[in-house]
Amino acid sequence: MSARLVAAGTAAAQQPWSRPVAPPATQEQPWWRSAVVYQVYLRSFADGNGDGIGDLAGLRARLPYLSWLGVDALWINPHYPSGGADGGYDVVDYRAVDPEYGDVSDVEALVADARRLGLRVVLDVVPNHTSDRHPWFQAALADPDCPEASRYHFAPPSEEPPNNWRSLFGGPAWSRTPDGRWYLHLFAPEQPDLNWRDPVVAEDFERTLRFWLDRGVSGFRVDVAYGLYKDAGLRDNPGEYSPTLFGHGPEQAMTWNQPEVHDVWRRWRAVCDEYPDTMLVGEVCLADLDEVALYSRPDELHQSLSFRLLKSAWDTPAFAEAIGSALEAFGRVGAPVSWVLGNHDKDRMVTRFGGGGTGLARARAAALLLLSLPGSAYVYAGDELGLPQAHVPDEAKQDPIFFRSGGERAGRDGCRVPMPWNATTGVGFSRDRSAKPWLPVPAEWKRHAVSRQTRESGSVLHLYRQALAVRAEHPALGTGEATVSTRGHVLTVRCTGGGRTVRCVVNMGADTALVRSRGRVLLESGPGVHTSARSVALPPDTAVWIAED
């Protein structure tokens, strides 16, 4: 381990996360182009009132931890009043806060506290569908001829659904109303799809954006940004619901990625342009990366998330293709890549990469890779602790995917289990130790607790903190230009910026690899890395950052 790294580790051990740190210096380029954004699944982050459910008060109390960690912004999953059918993504009121989480004043206080710590707050917005309890849908159920009915997709009574469209959660995408009509829901039946061909829908969402921007938020993550518009004639899809590994393609030509949707993002971009330093990042789950990148053209969304790494196996060619193809596709439209390795919809990295010690070592190496790449990086809460996928008993599950599939699909509960903050009863998630968390926390998760990892210089938590500190010091990381190469099972990303070059080298093979180098090792993901004047011996499932002097 280099002297530089020892010094960084010692400083981290001496500074408790509860002590605020100074805000970062202002950057010349827009903050979002290279930001490290920390995703907070609000229900599972921290419970501030003792009811077993994460909330805004709990998040506010933990903001110093995020500042200590070194991230630039936090993205909060939906906090709106909800029907509770899909983890908050079935919204009843877009300009309010679910009482379980607090109220609008809590959002304002959160934003103010975050700004004092140099953090920005990004909210989730869900424009593809509402809750079936939304006042518009309730009015449409009561009166088929009311104005609200045109804001959804209804079809007249018939023996069969209007077309062959399928729900992403399983089963048909059409359900009946009590009077026999059909309505569209590409997710759960409790999430009726909005009809964006009705201008009232667009006008109302622009009011929602301004409502939250006026309260100081720095932007929005846009759920299902590739959706919104559907084929005007409701024609059959050419194939059944069967997305490829990387997302939807031609088989879903009538339900996703309609050309009209890009005009929505042009209007939303114009709204954000009225508020300095704000941004929009879209969830765009399409198989064709060139199509994904189009959502980030200069007059549309600022970013669209790249999920290739998130969905790639631990494999050198797969990772190289995921990185290279994203850099090329987004480069053609002049947009930075927004890299993702974990989120609230996928199994945890440690488990995806093999589980146990192997999965953990690979997740540590993947963290260095993620944080080296040019563009922004999205870190899912708990990944900085090396959390594995939790086992959630069937009787405790809440994800509609599990129920809609008749138990054939496990659902997403296992990556949404509450954060372990300390090794006490209840792992410090709730202010009240006796409170029962909304999802059961595995007993063995005490060993992953923040309180333990802050005391262990070799912990995953300290690796993330050190990586974020080094990234902030080296313009080549995050803001530079990158080239990707492979040699056998070794993946190399060469990042250049600010007149300096840093290489991220990852050994994805089973044997130690000898990497030629005359530079300095800035950081390594695990033990066993040996350096000499001309080379670095890199153990399996390990990554290093090498500064080329």
Task: Give the three-class secondary structure for 124.
Answer: strand
Whether residue 545 contacts residue 470, with contact meaning beta carbons closer than 8 Å, is answered with yes
Cα-based distances in Å from 313 to 38, 75, 94, 411: 23, 26, 37, 20
Annotated catalytic residue within 236, 240, 273, 274: 274
d(CA 490, CA 400): 40
Whether residue 388 contacts residue 349, with contact meaning beta carbons closer than 8 Å, is answered with no
Comparing C-alpha atoms, which of 217, 19, 36 is closest to residue 109?
Answer: 217
Q: Does the annotation count 274 as an active-site position?
A: yes
Comparing C-alpha atoms, which of 68, 18, 66, 62 is closest to residue 38?
Answer: 66
The C-alpha torsion from 132 through 138 and 139 to 141, rounded to 10°, is 80
H or E stretch covering 507: strand 500-507
d(CA 260, CA 264): 7
CA 484 from chain center: how many Å?
24
H or E stretch covering 125: strand 120-125
d(CA 438, CA 417): 8
Whether residue 303 contacts residue 376, with contact meaning beta carbons closer than 8 Å, is answered with yes
- Residue 485's identity, in one-letter code, is S
Q: Which sign, positive or negative, has the C-alpha torsion 287, 290, 292, 294?
A: negative
Annotated catalytic residue within 55, 148, 190, 223: 223
Q: Which sign, positive or negative, has the C-alpha torsion 135, 137, 143, 147?
A: positive
Whether residue 390 contacts residue 441, with contact meaning beta carbons closer than 8 Å, is answered with yes
Q: Which sign, positive or negative, has the C-alpha torsion 49, 51, 55, 58?
A: positive
The pairing of beta strand 513-516 with beta strand 542-548? unpaired
Cα-based distances in Å from 34 to 10, 346, 477: 27, 23, 9
Whether residue 127 contacts residue 223, with contact meaning beta carbons closer than 8 Å, is answered with yes
Match 């990852």 to its residue by tokens: 506
* Half-sphere exposure for 523 (CA within 13 Å, toward CB): 29
Helix axes 460-473, 3-14, angle to 10 degrees: 120
Comparing C-alpha atoms, which of 261, 239, 259 is closest to residue 249?
Answer: 239
Q: Which residues of 237-267 are buried (b: 16+ CB within 10 A; e: fewer)?
A: beeebeeeebbbbebbbbbbbbeebbebbee
Could you give the residue numbers annotated as active site?
A: 223, 274
